[in-house]
């Protein structure tokens, strides 16, 4: 069974080396829609694949980090990067170009790490991230699957190479969240006291 949780964010970028002159040479923005698609072959004690409310923790926080921010490729022109950091308090440096395709891979890598490091407390079974869809426009989206994450032809994505600005981190409920994620520390879901027993 599949479930989907959707988030939105507004982000600015330049996509270097692409065919469109407007996209590759001018800073511009999009209203992104991100779909996290989870799958499981068993249901938890609430008879859900995964409680939608649990998606409002670190996964939503990381996704929201891109809202009202500028995302740039850390290999871009040094003057451009400096301007992004100077004139925007909210920025994210990425090891890959900020295209819809790479956003879907980045979101997958971060959300998958969160889920794999989460201690489940309500009978969740084999829940895992199946794919991530990033809508850049109403008519165009990119969808990432697990096999796309470690594909060297698509560029290496390591959490260690993603840098969030001080302002972005300061707005997180836990400013150390991403450092904990990179260190492999656990995220613990809440314990649920059952209201219906003997099922």
Q: How far apart are CA 63 and CA 59, in angstroms?
A: 6
What secondary structure does DSSP assign to 104-129, as a single string? HHHHHHHHHHHHHTEE--S---S-EE
* Residues classed as catalytic: 23, 68, 136
Task: Quote the DSSP letter at residue 190.
Answer: P
> What tokens appear for 116 in the block?
């794999």
Tell me which residue of 102, 112, 110, 108 sits closest to 142, measured CA to CA.
102
Does an H or E element contain 144, and which? strand 141-145
- Which residue stretches of the chain are H helix? 21-25, 58-64, 78-87, 100-116, 146-149, 166-170, 177-183
């Amino acid at each position: 069974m599949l479930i989907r949780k959707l988030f939105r964010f507004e982000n600015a970028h330049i996509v270097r080396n692409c065919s469109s002159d407007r996209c590759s040479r001018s800073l511009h923005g999009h209203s992104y829609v991100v779909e996290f698609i989870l799958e499981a072959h068993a249901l938890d004690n609430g008879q859900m694949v995964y409680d939608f409310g649990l998606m409002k923790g670190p996964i939503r926080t990381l996704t929201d980090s891109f809202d009202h921010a500028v995302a740039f490729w850390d290999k871009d022109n040094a003057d451009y990067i400096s301007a992004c950091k100077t004139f925007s308090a909210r920025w994210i440096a990425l090891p890959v170009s900020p295209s819809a395709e790479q956003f879907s891979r980045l979101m997958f890598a971060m959300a998958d790490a969160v889920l794999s490091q989460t201690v489940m407390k309500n009978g969740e079974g084999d829940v895992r991230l199946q794919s991530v869809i990033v809508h850049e426009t109403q008519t165009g989206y990119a969808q990432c699957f697990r096999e796309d994450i470690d594909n060297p032809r698509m560029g290496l994505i390591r959490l260690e190479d993603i840098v969030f600005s001080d302002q972005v981190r300061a707005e997180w409920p836990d400013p150390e969240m991403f450092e904990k994620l990179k260190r492999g520390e656990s995220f613990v879901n809440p314990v649920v006291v059952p209201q219906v027993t003997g099922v």
